[in-house]
Chain A
Amino acid sequence: MEKIYNLPESLIDVSTHYCPGCGHGIVHRIICEVIDELNIRQKIIGVAPIGCAVIAYKYWDFDCCEAAHGRALAVATGIKRVRPANIVFTYQGDGDLAAIGCAETIHAANRGENLTTIFINNAIYGMTGGQMAPTTLLTQKTATTPAGRDAKLEGYPLKISELLAQLEGVAYIERTSTDSPKAVLITKKAIKEAFQNQIDGKGFSMVEVLSPCPTYWGLKPVDAVKWMREVMIKEFPLGRIK
């Protein structure tokens, strides 16, 4: 018997610390699949965030660096400018990229840094215990919005991808999801394009991946993907934004 489905070589074959049904594990794997397919493992440098993916480098068998909370794109800018022949990407959650790191994100994108960003939008802060993120949906209950997010008090879900798409330095932005096998394949295609853009020197590329956090959404993993399809994707429509 021949193996017809293999884990990518760039992925370290260990059990992760992620909760059951967490989207981080899916996205870690497809990033590795893309790196293997593009044959760039010797050139890649990943920048891990602060958030549940803080130890992403324990699962990736290629060079990685850790950045302070929100500063992944500032660190990546430094790495890419000093080592332009390397392929540099950041992997960031919504708290990291869109809250504390909002300034770094906007300026790196506006400078048109030739970087790739994988932005994991799970509409919540996972690592610290389920507090509201800028991307939390209206009426969504979190540890800091126990009655549900209220626009009058906490504002509206931040559409960072749509914001960044306005900037001239940005080459490519797409929003995808991990709620089904088909959605995962679309995400993989988008991530591949984002890496290819950097190889071709096109400038800043970002893929926003909607990803379940069943633990702090208070849902079973199978209900979490259902919620994504029925509620989350309506607020964050999928597709190419730029």
Chain B
Amino acid sequence: MIYNFKTMPKVKINRERCKGCQLCLIYCPKGLIEKDKNLNKKGIQPLVFRNGECNGCKFCAIICPDGAVEIYK
């Protein structure tokens, strides 16, 4: 199957808002969220979305305690 990443939902995590709790990381059913190597201004490693087969389930946004997740399609 060929995936067209251009039309797939995209998750944007506000890196300065993120507190690095990693709840989005453990609940993403596709494993598309990972820790950033660079620290944010809070001094923690924020989470980042890596492009992939996002199915738009919104689990990351629903569990985020900090309202740091936006999803686009």
Measuring CB to CB, which residues of chain A are less than 8 angstroms from any residue of chain B?
Answer: 1-7, 11, 13, 15-16, 18-26, 29, 180-181, 184-185, 214, 220-222, 225
Contacts and interface: CB of A to CB of B under 8 A. Distances in A.
Nearest to B63: A181
B23 A221 contact: yes
Given A5-B58, A185-B62, A13 B67 contact: yes
B26 interface: yes
A239 B62 CA distance: 20
Contacts, number: 75
Contact of B9 (A4, A18, A184, A220): A4
B33 interface: no
B31 to A, nearest CB: 14
A20 B73 contact: no
A4 B20 CA distance: 23
B56 to A, nearest CB: 6
Q: Give chain B's interface secondary structure class.
A: loop
Contacts of B44: 20
B66 A15 contact: yes
Interface of B: 9-10, 16-17, 19-23, 25-27, 44, 56-59, 61-67, 69-73
B73 A26 contact: no
Contacts of B69: 5
Given A13-B67, A222-B23, A3 B72 contact: yes
Given A1-B10, A3-B71, A13-B67, A20 B21 contact: yes
Contact of B59 (A1, A6, A7, A181): A181
B73 to A, nearest CB: 5
A25 B63 contact: no
Contacts of A26: 63-65
A21 B73 contact: no
Contacts of A11: 67
A88 B51 CA distance: 43
A181 B56 contact: no
Nearest to B65: A25
